[in-house]
Amino acid sequence: MANNIKRPNGTEDVLPKDVYKWHTIEKIARETAESFGFSEIRIPTFENTDLFMRSVGETTDVVQKEMYTVKAKETEFTLRPEGTAGTIRAMLQNGLLNEALPQKVYYMLSCFRHERPQAGRLREFHQFGIEMAGSSAPSADAEVILLAKTILERLGLNNIELHINSIGCPTCRAKYHEALRAYFEPHKEELCDTCKERLVKNPMRLLDCKSPICKEIGKDAPLILDYLCDGCKDHFDAFKKYLTGFGIEYIVDPKIVRGLDYYTKSVFEFITTEIGAQGTVCAGGRYDGLIEQLGGQHVPALGFGMGFERILLVMDKQGCDFLTPKTCDIYFATMGEAALLKAMELVKGLREFGYRAEYDLMGRGIKPQMKYANKIGAVYTMVIGDDELASGKAKLKDMESGKEIELLLNDKFTANFENEYFNKMLDSMDDETGSLFSFTGEDK
């Protein structure tokens, strides 16, 4: 009977043979964020729908078209479409904003949006993100961009451009909205139905429309940079100065408005042209009014999110290095019940020291066991039978070189194996790979 059960459209399986690539991003992102003073936070997969209505914005594509919402009796929940709103809710609810500021957290999570699946755009996608709450200083904007850039560089990505903009504060935007309405009003009947509604409620959202007609109409629309108040201008100028101080190159792109309503002042995107239309691998900005909007005191905040799937596309395209996939350190091929018991004893000791040790669980003969050891990439193998048990020693075979040495099958076996393994690692150390991951203190 054919198996008709398949994964939902817009989702992907990450198989064991590929998961080491994800481990590379997770490890480097986690350790880099922690070196900048960020701590991990974990939040629920779904939140009350009202959270996203109030934060992301009722006129955004995310809320109007893309959210997965479920009604459970009298309650309405939504699978998180992004990480910021839930993280800020958690910081508020758990009193983190009453502690020393700035509060700096990072997360790795899955998000859900009902979009047309394509390369770099899935309905379930994964993000690494950070949020910093408490600082209004433009130096904080430069700091979070330095963090994002450092992660991308440590992953080995090249040809990534940083685009920045300022979308001002509510005072600036009130005047800017008037200018946008005046610009788009003569074209009102040509706009898509969604943008006709946005023209009244939130005209900046017209600049984020995917419709080719709306894009063409909006190509000569007024620019927010021409409407910034003195405070926002000063903030943007200082922000650029600090980026230059960090040696970070950037392009001022007044077309960036970001797709979520909570942003204020600085916004940015790291963009590549190597993976097609979905070229933004990291994006974020400042959202100084969000915490107050969700019921807290006025606390300025900012952050970013970077997509795992898009980063992987770029890394594969550019031939970036990944952490070496973990394989079996030693496989014991056994002959007979007594040999099996000895292998189980040795495996237990090795695993307590962190080694990946395996033995036969299928009742195979010696040849099939050795074939299996090759398939799983065992670094070493050891055959144990009656002769080895009688002599109290067995040959450890290096599967790459074919070299064999004898080890005693006693309580010093693990220490002796560890010494041999360590010497092998020293002999085969790759200078280039070592330099790529040297900052992480990479384990064996």
CA distance 84 to 288: 13
Please compute the mean of the pLDDT values over residues 277-288 and round it to a whole number.
89
Where are any strands of DSSP class E within 81-208? Answer: 103-112, 124-133, 161-166
CA distance 407 to 299: 63
- Taking the C-alpha atoms of residue 284 and residue 293, their distance in angstroms, rounded to an integer, is 18
Helix (H) / strand (E) element for 254: namely none
Can you give the pLDDT at residue 260? Answer: 66
Segment 15-50, tens digit of pLDDT? 999 999 999 999 999 999 999 999 999 999 999 998
User: What is the C-alpha to C-alpha distance for residues 408 and 38, in angstroms, rounded to an integer?
Assistant: 47
> Which two three-digit tokens encode residue 340?
């099996």
In this prediction, residue 59 has a pLDDT band, given cuts at 50, 70 and 90, of: low
Average pLDDT over residues 66-88: 90
pLDDT attached to residue 252:
96
The edge-to-edge listing of strands for the beta sheet with 393-398 is 357-359, 330-334, 380-384, 393-398, 404-408
**Contact at 8 Å (CB) between 310 and 361?**
no
Q: How confident is the model at residue 58, as a pLDDT? A: 66
Would you say residue 441 has pLDDT above 70? no
C-alpha R_g of the chain: 28
Q: Exposed (0-12), middle (13-18) or buried (19+): which is 137, by Cβ within 10 Å? A: middle
Specify the range with the lowest mean pLDDT, choosing from 151-160, 356-365, 433-442. 433-442
For helices 19-35 and 308-318, the axis angle rounded to 10 degrees is 110
Start-end of CATH 3.40.50.800 domains in the chain:
330-439
Instruction: Give tens-digit pLDDT for 152-188.
Output: 999 999 999 999 999 999 898 889 889 989 999 898 8
Instruction: Report whether 347 contacts 384 (CB < 8 A).
Output: no
**In angstroms, how far is the first alpha carbon of the chain from the final one?**
45
Report the SS3 class of residue 359: strand
**Greater pLDDT, 378 or 118:** 378
Report phi then psi at 410, rounded to 5.
Answer: -120, -165
* Position 64 pLDDT exceeds 90: no
Is residue 168 within 8 A of residue 265, CB to CB? The reply is yes
Residue 15, Cβ neighbours under 10 Å: how many? 7
CB 380 within 8 A of CB 329: yes
User: Which pLDDT score, from 0 to 100, does residue 2 have?
Assistant: 59
Model confidence band, residue 428 (pLDDT cutoffs 50, 70, 90): low
210 has pLDDT over 80 = no
Given a cut of 70, whether residue 222 has pLDDT beyond it is: yes
120 or 184, greater pLDDT: 184
Average pLDDT over the chain, rounded to an integer = 90
Is the sign of the CA dihedral 409, 415, 417, 419 positive or negative? negative
| CATH number given to 19-169+229-318 | 3.30.930.10
Quick check: helix, strand or coil at residue 302? strand
pLDDT band (50, 70, 90) for residue 61? low
Average pLDDT over residues 111-116: 89
- Mean pLDDT of all residues in 229-256: 96
* pLDDT classification of 66: cutoffs 50, 70, 90: confident
Give yes or no for a contact between 289 and 133, defined as CB atoms under 8 angstroms apart.
no
pTM for the predicted model, two decimal places: 0.88
- By CB atoms closer than 10 A (0-12, 13-18, 19+), residue 94 is exposed
Residue 434 scores a pLDDT above 60: no
Q: Over the stretch 301-347, which tens digit does the pLDDT of each residue have?
A: 999 999 999 999 999 999 999 998 889 999 999 999 999 999 999 99
Tell me the average pLDDT across 396-401: 94
Which band of pLDDT confidence, cut at 50, 70 and 90, is reported for residue 4? confident
The proportion of the chain whose per-residue pLDDT surpasses 70, expressed as a percent, equals 93
Reported residue count of the chain is 444
Predicted confidence at residue 200, as pLDDT, reads 84
d(CA 74, CA 71) in angstroms, rounded, equals 7
Query: 102 preceded by cis ω (within 30°)?
Result: yes
Per the DSSP assignment, residues forming a β-bridge with 393 are 408
Lowest mean per-residue pLDDT among 84-98, 202-216, 286-300: 202-216
Predicted confidence at residue 111, as pLDDT, reads 94
Phi, psi of 321 (to 5 degrees): -80, 145
Range(s) of the chain covered by CATH 3.30.930.10: 19-169+229-318
Q: What is the rounded distance in angstroms from the CA atom of residue 155 to the CA atom of residue 339?
A: 45
Q: Give the pLDDT band (50/70/90) at residue 202.
A: confident
In this prediction, residue 435 carries a pLDDT of 39
Q: Using 50, 70 and 90 to split pLDDT, how confident is the model at 80?
A: very high
Q: Is the pLDDT of residue 72 over 90?
A: no
Instruction: Please name which of 279, 328, 283, 316 lies closest in space to residue 302, comparing C-alpha atoms.
Output: 283
Residue 239 pLDDT level (bands cut at 50, 70, 90): very high
Q: Domain 330-439 carries which CATH code?
A: 3.40.50.800
pLDDT in tens, 244-272: 999 999 999 988 876 567 889 999 999 99
pLDDT computed for residue 436 by the predictor: 42
